[in-house]
Structures are given as structure tokens and as C-alpha cells.
Homo-oligomer: A and B are copies of this chain.
């Protein structure tokens, strides 16, 4: 599982930072999460193949999280995309994108499918045999969702030498991987755990941006492998965090600690801070495993 950080800074533009966007690589899926202005150029710089993106998740309709979407949708057409593109985001997103395409006289030549969200409860957005994606309702100045990406448990790992030794027919290997007991060629019942080992533990990734400090999300992200939680401010700007409905690095760390996640990735830094190491220092007073997101960084989640 890899997170490509395309941009992780708050809205005020600077010469060399980008607003929120990231690509999650998980079990052969490539999910684009948020799409701030400049995302398509950041995809190019990070050498991510446009055609591999089939699902885009937009947390909320503030510009620094989706103003790059319409450009990307248009570019897919220029690149002669044929595959379906699914966009999941707050109600209104379809109207915004469609209006712009209509006025530019440039409809897509591929199926563009909107999944508009307005539930305030967690809901399942996508599922295949390997991965599921659900919403994490967040509290921000507009309707906002985080997203929880979960690997499904994989097949059990076959201990091939044991299986041969116990004289199990190869046609039963599939059942063994699925965790079933089988009967050997000499008629003995073979307990599954004698010839298989546990699959790798499924990993999970929670993306939570933008949000005020909100312990209500903890049960939803409990034991996540990695949590990306916004930290727009440090505690020195605490008086700004609540009215703007953002979090501090310390608050993000409290959520990580209480949800017992393995890693906390910080981002959505206000551009008032010139040194992002300050976010690590503050968060580490609460929670040990801090990763600082930064534009262009690829984070491998183990």
C-alpha cells in the first residue's frame, strides 16, 4: 500500500507547494483522493499514468480540494480515454463539472459517472474482491467526508511442501487457500492449518481532511494501519482552529492515539508555517509514529 502525496498544503498559493491531492495504490487499485488545482501537473511530475485512475474521491467542495478536477476530466478526453471514470463527492459536484463541460462545448468521450453524496452516516462507496471504500463523515464548514480504504483478507498461504507430503490432490489447493479442510488421496481428513499459514494482515488507510477535532470518528478508524489526518495549525493558532473547523497537529495525534492506528500522516499545513518539522515535534508529544506528508513524497504503508 502506497500513498503518493501530490499536494498537502492548505489553500493559500505559494510558488512551490500544492493544495490537497493524493493517489492511493492499494491491491492493484489506484484511487485519486481530492484534486486541488494543479493535480494533473502533479500526476505528470509523479509519473502516474492517467489511464490507471478509475475512481476519484472528493472530500468536500472547497477549492483547494477539487478545483483541479474539471481540468483532469477534460484532459482524459484529450488523451482519448475510453474507460469509465467514477467520481464520488458531495451533491453539487455533477452540476459544477457538467456546466463547465457544457459551456466549453466539450463533453467527455468516455463514461463519466457521478456518485453524489449527502448522507451524514458512513456508507460503502466501492467494493471489489480485494478492497472496500467507505465514507468517514467529518465536521467542517461545508459537507465533508473522509474516506476509509480497507483491504479484504487475502487467501491463506499454501505450504506447498506440506501439501505434497500429505498427498493432497492439486485440485484441492484452491479450497485450502480459502481456509477449508480437505481429504487427502489416502482418505485422511486434513485440517487446514496443517498446510496453510495466515495471509498478510489486511491493511487500511483513513483519509481525514478537512475536519475540526472530532473524537466521534475514532470508532470508524479504529486500528487503521495509517491515518492521514489534517493538521492545518499548531497549538499556537488554536484560536483559529475551531472557528475555521480545522485541527492542530496535537489534536490529530490525540485522534491517532485514541484510535490506536499504526501510523499518523500529517498534512494540510497552513502556509503560514515555513517549517513543517514543527508539526512532527508537536504531534510526537502525544503519539510516536508520525509521518510528515510533503508534495511529491511517496509513503509506503507497512
> Beyond the given A11-B78, A12-B78, A37-B40, could you list 17 further A-B residue pairs with CB under 8 A, ordered by the A residue number?
A13-B40, A37-B38, A37-B67, A37-B68, A37-B71, A38-B38, A38-B41, A62-B106, A63-B71, A63-B74, A63-B104, A63-B106, A67-B100, A90-B103, A92-B103, A96-B99, A103-B142
Question: CA–CA, A93 to B12, complex, Å?
Answer: 23
Q: How large is the interface on A (under 10, 10 to 19, 20 to 34, 35 or more residues)?
A: 35 or more
Check A15/B37 contact, CB under 8 A, given A71-B67, A99-B95, A99-B99: no
Interface flags, A48-88, vs B, CB<8A=1, else 0: 00000000000001110001101100110011000000000
Residue A28 is within 8 A (CB to CB) of chain B in the complex: no
B contact residues around A92 at 8 Å (CB): 103
Question: CA–CA, A210 to B96, complex, Å?
Answer: 24
Q: Are A100 and B105 in contact (CB under 8 A)?
A: no
Q: Are A41 and B63 in contact (CB under 8 A)?
A: no
B contact residues around A41 at 8 Å (CB): 13-15, 37-38
Q: Are B38 and A141 in contact (CB under 8 A)?
A: no
Residue A120 is within 8 A (CB to CB) of chain B in the complex: no
Q: A231 to chain B: closest CB distance in Å? A: 19
Q: Which residues of A contact B (CB under 8 A)?
A: 11-15, 37-38, 40-41, 43-45, 61-63, 67-68, 70-71, 74-75, 78-79, 90, 92-93, 95-96, 99-100, 103-106, 141-142
Q: A264 to chain B: closest CB distance in Å? A: 27
Q: Are B61 and A104 in contact (CB under 8 A)?
A: yes
Q: Are B78 and A44 in contact (CB under 8 A)?
A: no
- Considering only CB atoms, which chain B residue lies closest to A75 in the complex? B13
B contact residues around A142 at 8 Å (CB): 103-105
Question: CA–CA, A99 to B74, complex, Å?
Answer: 19
B contact residues around A62 at 8 Å (CB): 104, 106
Give the residue of B13, B40, B75 whose beta carbon is less than 8 angstroms from that of A44.
B13
The listed residue with most B CB atoms (<10 A of its CB), out of A61, A67, A79, is A67
